[in-house]
Amino acid sequence: MLIIALDGWTDAGMASTGAVSYIKEKLSSELLLALDDQDYFDLLRQRPIIVLDEHGERDFIWPSIELFGPGPKSEVQQKDLSLYFLTGQEPALQWQFLITELLEIIEDRDIQSVIMLGSLAAETPHSRQIKIYKNSQTASVRNALGIERSNYDGRAGFISVLGHAIEKAGIPTISIWAQVPHYVASMPSPKAALALVNDLEIMLGFTVDHKEILESAFEWERSVDTFAEGDEDLLNYIAGLERSRDEAEAEEMTTDQLALEFEKFLRQNEGEAGPPQS
C-alpha cells in the first residue's frame, strides 16, 4: 500500500503531509530513495533551505520527493500490510517525466493499491469535527467502501494527475480529503492531520500513538480561539459556520433515523403481506 501526500496546492494547513509525516515517524519507516532532480522544481518558487549542522557549518536542503517504506525497525500491527509513503514538495515542472519515473518505482516495489491524501480550505468551523471526504475512480473500491466517483471539474494538482496515471496502469486508488477552515488554512492544522490519521487507521487496521498529535491539535484549536477573540466580525462569522454545521448534522441525523425506522418497519412486516394482487 502506497500513501501519497505532497506539499503544495492540495495541502491546505499542511494536513496531508502532516499526517504522513506523523505516521511514518511513529512506524519507524525507512527512507528508501529521494528524487531531487532539479528539473522537476522551480527554484524561484520552491527555494532551498539553509541549515546549520552541529558545528555551525552551512548546508542546503533542496526540494525533493522522498519514498519511505518498511525497514528493520518498522512496526505495523497487520503482518500482511506493508506501508510505503511518498511525500515531499509538489513538482513544478516536467510532470509527465516524473510520473513515468514514479510508475516505475511503484511497479518495482510491487505496490498493489494507492491512497492519495489531500486537504482543502473550506467554509468550516475550527471548533467542530474535521470533515473527511473519500472518492475513487476504481469501481471495486467504490463498491467495497460505499463511496462515490469524484465529479470535480476544474484545475488539477499533480497528485490528481499522478492518481489518474496510476489508475490507468491498473492499480486501484482512493482519494481522502480533509476540510481545513479557510480562515486559518495558511497555518499548520494538526487537527486536520489527526483526522486523516484516524481515518487511515480505521481503513487499514493499524494504530499509532496519538499523544503528540492530540496535544498539538488541542493547542491549535485553543490558539485559533485566542486569535479570534479580538475580532468581533470573525467571531460572528465562526458562530454562523457553527450553526450551519450543527443544523446540517441534525438534519442528517433525522434522515438517518427515518431510514432506520423504515428498515425496521420492513423487517417487522416481512412475510406478513399477502400474495400480490393482479
For the chain, 278 residues long, give each residue's pLDDT as a single digit of tens: 999 999 998 999 999 999 999 999 999 999 999 998 888 999 888 888 999 988 889 998 899 999 999 877 666 655 678 899 999 999 999 999 999 999 999 999 999 999 999 999 999 999 999 999 999 999 999 999 889 998 888 888 999 999 999 999 999 999 999 999 999 999 999 999 999 999 999 999 899 999 999 999 999 999 999 999 989 999 999 999 999 998 888 877 666 566 666 666 566 666 554 444 44
Q: Alpha carbon of 241 to those of 11, 88, 131, 132, 234: distances in Å?
A: 22, 33, 13, 17, 11
Q: How far is C-alpha 203 from the chain's CA centre?
A: 12
Nearest alpha-carbon partner for 156 in 147, 164, 168: 164
d(CA 250, CA 186): 30
Q: Is it true that domain 2-51+59-228 has CATH number 3.40.640.10?
A: no
Q: What SS3 class is residue 37?
A: coil
Crossing angle of helices 95-108 and 158-168, rounded to 10°: 50
Confidence (pLDDT) at 253: 62
Q: What angle do CA 207, 211, 215 make, to 5 degrees?
A: 135
**pLDDT value of position 44:** 87
251-254: long-range pairs with CB below 8 Å, 24+: none
Q: For residue 250, what pLDDT is reported?
A: 82
Q: Which residue has the cell 515517524?
A: 25
Report pLDDT for 275: 47
State residue 266's pLDDT score.
64
pTM given for the model = 0.85
Q: CA-CA distances (angstroms) from residue 180 to 115, 119, 188, 195?
A: 19, 7, 10, 11
Q: From CA 38, how far away is CA 92, in angstroms rounded?
A: 10
- How far is it, in rounded angstroms, from Cα 174 to Cα 114? 7
- The distance of Cα 226 from the centroid of its chain, to the nearest Å, equals 27
